[in-house]
Chain A
Amino acid sequence: MAIKERMSGNEAVSYAIRQIDPDVMPAFPITPSTEIPQMVSTYIANGEMDTEFIPVESEHSSMSAAIGAEAAGARSLTATSSAGLALMWEELLLAASNRLPIVLALVNRTLSGPININCDHSDSMGARDTGWIQIYAENNQEAYDNFIQAYPIAEHELVHLPVMICQDGFITSHAVENIELIEDAAVKKFVGTYSPEEFLLNPGRPVSVGPYSVSSYAMEAKKNQEIALENAKAAILETAKKFKKISGREYGLFEEYRTKDADYIMLIMGSAAGTAKQAVDGLRARGKKAGVLKLRVFRPFPADEIAAALKGCKAVAIMDRCESYNGNGGPLGSEVTSALFRNKVMIDTVNYIYGLAGRDFTVEETKAVFGELEDMIVNGKQPVQYKYIGLRK
């Protein structure tokens, strides 16, 4: 039986953590993710879960401790945002290369500077090539559901990689919305107990984790890690299928909203996807064939699947909530166009940058983007590439 509740995104993730009851959580507070370790430690203090909470002195240490705990055989996690994730940089790569299925609750916040506490995706995008699986949420419900699916994906025998469960700082982390929770017993059964085949604290069965690797081995190790990331696609879909059985809710690598016959599609991630869907309903009511492709899984990047989903439309707006400083647009802009080119899907694309450092993104702005796509196709008016939405001139 689903439990109807209302809670914020941070509350929802903390609630999932309590239900999963992992073994070890080292954490250091940073806005807007601070509430997660705060709420989890409250659950622990109240005797509602057994997780060993380790207050550490920095995020460098929280990820190091998570790596140590996970290698020792303990199901581990942490939470962070922005500069906290940046300070974990070195350890993020080690968690992945040592094939440790750690889960990180990331509450997206811009990277300084200018110093700012609000949402964009620059923190997780900065960590996009660290070997972590990245899954994004539109709202509190998805943050909760994604977190419950995280360990089964991370610990999948063909994967063994860490997973970042991302949600938009303040926009969903601090917004109270309706949510359907799953009963504790069903969550526990779904996630299961963690029983790794090999781990450090296992007397009589010694293991060396992270040995030095000479050039004649390191490249092979990296390829194996890459294969595991590719395997994650199937593991994510398999986990989603099982999750549907306990929740009734469906998840894939991305969600296609009214795209089947769409001429114009907006490809977007995170909380703004909801705003885009609302705009699409308005446009559809006026006879405009608009749709939204909401990317849920950014790593592994579903390049071929995206190309196949977009091939029937006339133009795509690729929405980046991150400036890549590559002089050529945002990270999604680069990866989506490369996916289309390699799959020989030669449709028009426009890359937009929106919502940096908490700048609001509205239904009206979404409609204006669709207007530009139509103007390009119907009237041949070429829009500016990687245009900033809502920028003051």
Chain B
Amino acid sequence: MNNGIEIRWHGRGGQGAKTAALLLADVAFKTGRSVQGFPEYGPERMGAPITAYNRISDDKIRVHSNIYTPDYVVVVDETLLSSVDVTSGLKRNGAIIINTPKSREEIAKKLEGYSGRIYTVDARKISEETLGKNFPNSPMLAAIVAVSGVMDRDTFIREMKASYQHKFAKKPEVIDGNMKALEMAYDIVWSAMEDDKMGLSA
């Protein structure tokens, strides 16, 4: 895959990790690239750990296997860190994004043997502030777009707005909240990346 990236999502059944992976495929498609977004189903139960995947490439995507050496990993539920080897196969120059109120230093201690980049987003807090409910997938989607650079901020915001306007045509009141959640999460991760570039971060 030329200029291809592979992303692995970890979540729990019912939290929207699969939906987030499909949304990412959706929005990346708008940039004219080849996309793939698919879930891996275990027992179909609320709360069971689930995995979802994305491939995004300039070439036609033909591989139909799971992703074992991802460029990026997104963890939608922090409690998975103690039971799932989330950094398994994660590329050295890749990054992991975790939904947590904790700092990256605290998280780093939990990810033994992992020395790559870590980004944290308190998606629960963002979601509760903007939507009044805990829907962590929108903030996590914005975070992975920022970290992976699949598209620039303006394109992402424009395409997501169009997609929400279509999806929530019957409840327009939730569009603003969702857009705000995306922007907040994007900017938090973006500024962490800027800090990294300037060497301000540990």
A adjacent to B, CB under 8 Å: yes
Tell me if A6 counts as interface (CB < 8 A to partner B).
yes
**Least CB distance, A223 to chain B, in whole angstroms:** 40
Interface string of B55-80 (1 = CB under 8 A from A): 00000111111101000000000000
User: How many Å lie between the Cα of A361 and that of B44 in the bound state?
Assistant: 22
Min Cβ gap B190→A in Å is 26
Q: Does B41 lie within 8 Å of A178, measured CB to CB? A: no
The total of chain A residues at the interface (CB under 8 A) is: 26
Asked if B25 is at the interface (CB within 8 A of a chain A CB), the reply is yes
Q: Per a CB cutoff under 8 Å, which of A139, A170, A271, A272 touches B41?
A: A170
Q: B65: shortest Cβ distance to chain A, in Å?
A: 4
A138: B residues at CB distance < 8 A: 62, 64
**Complex: how many Å from CA A175 to CA B39?**
7
Contact with A along B179-193 (1 / 0, CB 8 A): 000000000000000
Digitize B8-36: 1 where CB-to-A-CB distance is under 8 Å, 0 elsewhere.
Answer: 00000000000000100110010000111
* Candidates A170, A172, A272; contact of B39 at CB < 8 Å: A170
Contact: B39 with A6, CB < 8 Å?
no
Q: How far is the CA of A360 from the CA of B41 in the complex (A)?
A: 12
Whether A171 and B38, one on each chain, are in contact in the complex, defined by CB atoms closer than 8 angstroms, is yes
Q: Would A278 and B63 count as touching, CB distance under 8 A?
A: yes
Nearest B residue (CB) for A177: B36
User: Which B residues are CB-close (under 8 A) to A178?
Assistant: 29, 34-35, 60-61
Does B37 sit within 8 A of A, measured CB to CB? yes
Given A174-B38, A176-B35, also A6-B65 (CB < 8 A): no
Among A6, A118, A168, A176, which residue has its beta carbon within 8 angstroms of that of B64? A168
Residues of chain A from 1 to 57 with CB closer than 8 A to chain B in the complex: 6, 31
Verify A176–B66 contact, CB threshold 8 A: no
Q: Is the CB of B64 within 8 A of A139?
A: yes
Contact in complex: B41, A278 (CB < 8 Å): no
We find that the number of chain B residues with CB closer than 8 angstroms to chain A is: 21
Q: How far is the CA of A363 from the CA of B66 in the complex (A)?
A: 10
Q: Mark A276-287, 1 if CB is under 8 A from B, else 0.
A: 011000000000
A360 to B66, CA, bound (A): 7
**Minimal Cβ-Cβ distance residue in A for B54:** A176
CA distance A79 to B68 in the complex (A): 33
Name B38's closest neighbour in chain A (CB-CB): A175
Within the complex, the shortest CB–CB distance from A144 to chain B, in Å, comes to: 15
B66 surroundings in chain A (CB, below 8 A): 360, 362
In the complex, the chain B residue whose C-beta lies closest to that of A365 is B65
- Return the contact of A362 from the options B22, B36, B39, B68 (Cβ within 8 A): B68
Q: Quick check: is A274 within 8 A (CB to CB) of the other chain?
A: yes
Q: Does A275 contact B (CB under 8 A)?
A: yes
Shortest distance in angstroms between A295's beta carbon and chain B's nearest beta carbon? Answer: 16
Q: Does A322 make an interface contact (CB < 8 A)?
A: no
B25 CB contacts on chain A under 8 angstroms: 6, 176-177
CB proximity of A292 to chain B, nearest CB, Å: 10
Kindly state the separation between the CA atoms of A126 and B69 in the bound complex, as whole angstroms: 36
Find the A residue at minimum CB distance from B24: A176
**Is A117 on the interface with B (CB-CB < 8 A)?**
yes
In the bound assembly, the distance between CA atoms of A272 and B62 in angstroms comes to 9
**B-contact 0/1 string along A157-193, CB 8 Å cutoff:** 0000000000010111011111000000000000000
Task: Report whether B36 and A175 are in contact in the complex, using a CB–CB cutoff of 8 Å.
Answer: yes
Q: Which residues of A contact B60 (CB under 8 A)?
A: 178
Offer 7 A-B interface pairs, CB within 8 angstroms, sorted by A: A171-B64, A176-B36, A177-B34, A274-B63, A275-B64, A360-B66, A362-B65
Complex A-B, nearest 4 residue pairs according to Cβ-Cβ distance, in ascending order: A274-B62, A175-B38, A271-B64, A6-B29
- A171-B64, A360-B65 given. 20 additional CB < 8 A pairs? A6-B25, A117-B44, A138-B62, A139-B62, A170-B38, A176-B35, A177-B25, A177-B36, A177-B61, A178-B29, A178-B60, A178-B61, A272-B64, A274-B63, A274-B64, A275-B62, A275-B63, A275-B65, A360-B66, A362-B68
